[in-house]
């Protein structure tokens, strides 16, 4: 080696020493515990206290640390890359000993005082153990790479309550350069390591408020208070390497959620990017074209002249749509078939506007899908999903609004229970459903209504429909439907009077204008909830309409306006209709609330609410 080359090598070594010194200073207790676990960290400290020693040999890009018991570690100025002669595939106690020993004995020394010369290292190595040198030849084969946040065979422990009393108000300084990647890097690039199902679920979690505690030292830690989880981001612009106190898929979900909430806290609006990453679009174009051809033919022939043989064609096309991954198209075809069957049977419930609306919506969807030019998000909206996914929530505070029995044209019976959620100010539902097309199946509305709820022994579904409660760990889908699955914990709360509850936008003042907004057709915008709460002063009177087989109820709102409600007749709730028709049901002199469903051509009452009482019209009267 020439003198010049020797000088260059020495400069490179000194430069690496400085970088390594900076790295060691950033290795705080919190950082090392999160990278390994608390047990390994304590064990490393204990062995140092018991007298273990380490000798360091600096190179141009790494430092070799030889422990007095013979283990050899090779470190760089990051925990992303290291190797150790021990069999561990993850961050081991030997690497921690090498870091902590350097902090204790070498960190404050000058470059000239550090043990870094080759001769002194060789002497020291021989002094501290001859096994170190003999193991050096196996070092390359035993070396491994560590990725923070990867599963650790030794187990992991949380470093405790990160953030303490430091809430969001404490984060007022601009981000240091080493953490700027969290907000400056493109979100689609940061999310590349994660599959669409994780991104979709993290996006779902954003609809619920979450208290954040943010702490910044060698790591930027985002603590999700309600979930009692925390994610620590390193300087490396890689979300997958963020440290999390939860393992495997749940850990990845928390990493993505913490990133999204932090970026939202910094004022970034990224719903479009998230929707595109979460959407999965794959469908059959030939099925689209065949279906479009059939609908055009039906419209060309006209409903009045349409032969009943088209029922078989619609059923066949629905099967083809199912095979072509077109669930929403399949549902639309079966809905049209149901309306046509009512038409061919000359049934009183047949609605020509409803049939035309279904045909128009389906044909427009088919035309747009056939062009293959829609954005991915809009394609996903038109295609729909076969099965709704349920996601676990940390907390739901619900207020029961009543229940409603129903029967579908496709052979299902059920009861749907409605609750108002204080967390996001929307209505949540739980549906108890049974198929009726099997000979041995029976569904009694009264017995199902009084049966035990799936979440709390001793609590009937009737009581559930009028309770105020807290759910922990409840699974919910995008339509805010509650799951009956195991794992959710239910706590009953003292029910407040309905007059004390702020229902926000669920309360409809100008019901005519709100009715027009709710029924406005749209292919792509989020569907408006068909449910509304109305403040009523009294029930005026009733009239039974023989033509539509429905009870018409006149009621006066608090603004001294009169509205008309429609309650379709069915044998199962004939008693309730009779009581209303004969005026045997009274709500008292004081005002009351009514939960109604807003349909295109009428409003249907579901329940009366007054004080702490809830009366489900078809089930309780």
- Contact of 61 with 17, CB cutoff 8 Å: no
At 527, the pLDDT band (50, 70, 90 cuts) reads: low
Give the model's pLDDT for residue 389.
80
- Contact of 581 with 551, CB cutoff 8 Å: yes
d(CA 204, CA 373): 27
At 103, the pLDDT band (50, 70, 90 cuts) reads: confident
* Res 108 pLDDT > 50: yes
Give the model's pLDDT for residue 164.
36
Higher pLDDT, 131 or 539: 539
* Res 187 pLDDT > 60: yes
pLDDT digits (tens, 9 = 90+) for 553-602: 888 877 777 888 888 877 777 777 777 777 666 666 678 888 888 877 77
* Res 169 pLDDT > 60: no
pLDDT digits (tens, 9 = 90+) for 26-76: 777 777 877 777 788 888 888 888 888 888 888 888 888 888 888 888 888
Give the model's pLDDT for residue 31.
75
Average pLDDT over residues 181-189: 82
Tokens of 467: 């309770």
Average pLDDT over residues 397-424: 85
Write 188-192 long-range contacts (CB < 8 A, 24+).
188/273, 188/277, 190/237, 190/239, 190/259, 191/239, 191/256, 191/277
pLDDT digits (tens, 9 = 90+) for 480-499: 888 887 778 888 999 999 88
Give the model's pLDDT for residue 195.
81
- Contact of 448 with 552, CB cutoff 8 Å: no
Tokens of 352: 């020509």
What is the percent of the chain where pLDDT is above 70?
A: 80
pLDDT digits (tens, 9 = 90+) for 506-520: 777 666 545 544 555
At 438, the pLDDT band (50, 70, 90 cuts) reads: low
What is the percent of the chain where pLDDT is above 90?
A: 2
Both ends of the chain: CA-CA distance in Å?
100
Give the model's pLDDT for residue 48.
87
Task: Tell how far CA 143 is from the center of its chain.
Answer: 39
* Res 207 pLDDT > 70: yes
Tally the C-alpha atoms within 13 A of residue 44's C-alpha that lie toward its C-beta.
Answer: 25
pLDDT digits (tens, 9 = 90+) for 273-289: 777 666 667 788 888 88
pLDDT digits (tens, 9 = 90+) for 440-470: 566 778 888 888 888 888 888 999 888 999 9
Q: Minimal CA–CA distance to 232: which of 255, 253, 209, 210?
A: 255
d(CA 286, CA 164): 59
Q: Across 247-295, where does the E strand assignment appear? A: none
Does the predicted model carry a pTM greater than 0.75?
A: no
pLDDT digits (tens, 9 = 90+) for 295-317: 888 888 888 888 888 888 888 88
Give the model's pLDDT for residue 510.
63
Average pLDDT over residues 221-244: 82
pLDDT digits (tens, 9 = 90+) for 249-274: 888 888 888 888 888 888 887 777 77
d(CA 382, CA 369): 8
Tokens 């004995």 correspond to 105
d(CA 52, CA 611): 73
Give the model's pLDDT for residue 278.
62
């Amino acid at each position: 080696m020439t003198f010049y080359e020797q000088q260059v090598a020495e400069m490179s070594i000194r430069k690496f020493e400085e970088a390594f010194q900076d790295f060691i200073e950033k290795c705080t207790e919190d950082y090392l515990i999160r990278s390994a676990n608390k047990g390994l960290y304590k064990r490393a400290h204990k062995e140092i206290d018991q007298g273990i020693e380490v000798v360091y040999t600096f190179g141009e890009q790494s430092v070799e640390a030889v422990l007095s018991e013979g283990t050899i570690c090779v470190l760089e100025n990051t925990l992303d890359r290291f190797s150790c002669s021990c069999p561990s595939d993850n961050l081991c106690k030997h690497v921690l000993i090498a870091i902590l020993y350097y902090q204790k004995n070498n960190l404050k020394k000058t470059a000239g005082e550090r043990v870094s010369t080759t001769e002194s290292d060789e002497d020291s190595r021989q002094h501290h153990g001859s096994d170190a040198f003999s193991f050096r030849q196996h070092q390359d084969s035993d070396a491994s790479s560590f990725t923070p946040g990867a599963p650790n065979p030794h187990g992991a422990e949380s470093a405790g309550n990160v953030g303490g009393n430091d809430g969001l108000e404490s984060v007022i300084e601009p981000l240091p350069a080493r953490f700027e990647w969290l907000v400056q890097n493109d979100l689609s690039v940061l999310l590349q390591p994660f599959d669409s199902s994780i991104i979709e679920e993290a996006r779902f979690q954003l609809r619920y408020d979450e208290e954040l505690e943010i702490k910044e030292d060698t790591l930027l830690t985002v603590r999700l208070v309600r979930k009692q989880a925390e994610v620590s981001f390193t300087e490396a612009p890689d979300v997958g390497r963020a440290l999390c106190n939860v393992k495997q898929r749940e850990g990845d979900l928390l990493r993505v959620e913490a990133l999204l909430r932090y970026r939202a806290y910094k004022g970034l609006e990224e719903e479009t990017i998230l929707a595109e990453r979460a959407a999965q679009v794959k469908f059959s174009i030939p099925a689209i074209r065949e279906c479009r051809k059939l609908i055009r033919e039906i419209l060309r022939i006209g409903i009045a002249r349409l032969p009943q043989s088209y029922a078989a064609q619609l059923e066949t096309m629905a099967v083809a749509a199912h095979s072509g991954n077109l669930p929403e198209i399949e549902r639309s075809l079966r809905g049209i078939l149901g309306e046509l069957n009512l038409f061919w049977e000359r049934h009183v419930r047949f609605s020509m506007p409803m049939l035309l609306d279904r045909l128009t919506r389906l044909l427009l969807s088919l035309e747009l899908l056939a062009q293959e030019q829609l954005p991915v998000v809009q394609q996903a909206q038109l295609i729909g999903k076969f099965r709704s996914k349920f996601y676990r929530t940390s907390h739901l505070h619900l207020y029961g609004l009543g229940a409603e029995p129903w029967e579908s044209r496709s052979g299902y019976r059920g009861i749907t229970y409605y609750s108002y959620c204080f967390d996001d100010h929307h209505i949540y539902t739980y549906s108890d459903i049974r198929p009726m097309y099997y000979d041995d199946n029976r569904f009694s509305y009264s017995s199902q209504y009084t049966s035990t709820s799936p979440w709390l022994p001793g609590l009937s579904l009737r009581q559930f429909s009028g309770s105020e409660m807290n759910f922990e760990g409840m699974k919910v889908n995008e339509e805010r439907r509650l799951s009956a699955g195991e794992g959710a914990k239910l706590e009953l709360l003292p029910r407040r009077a309905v007059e004390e509850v702020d229902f926000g936008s669920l309360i409809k003042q100008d019901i005519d204008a709100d009715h027009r907004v709710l029924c406005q057709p749209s292919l792509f915008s989020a569907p408006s909830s068909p449910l509304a709460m109305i403040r009523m002063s009294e029930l005026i009177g009733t009239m039974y309409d023989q033509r539509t087989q429905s009870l018409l109820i006149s009621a006066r709102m608090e603004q001294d306006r009169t509205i008309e409600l429609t309650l379709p007749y069915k044998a199962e709730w004939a008693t309730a209709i009779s009581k209303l028709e004969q005026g045997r049901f009274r709500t008292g002199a004081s005002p009351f609330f009514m939960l109604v469903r807003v349909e295109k051509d009428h409003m249907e009452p579901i329940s009366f609410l007054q004080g702490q009482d809830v009366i489900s019209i078809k089930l309780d009267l």
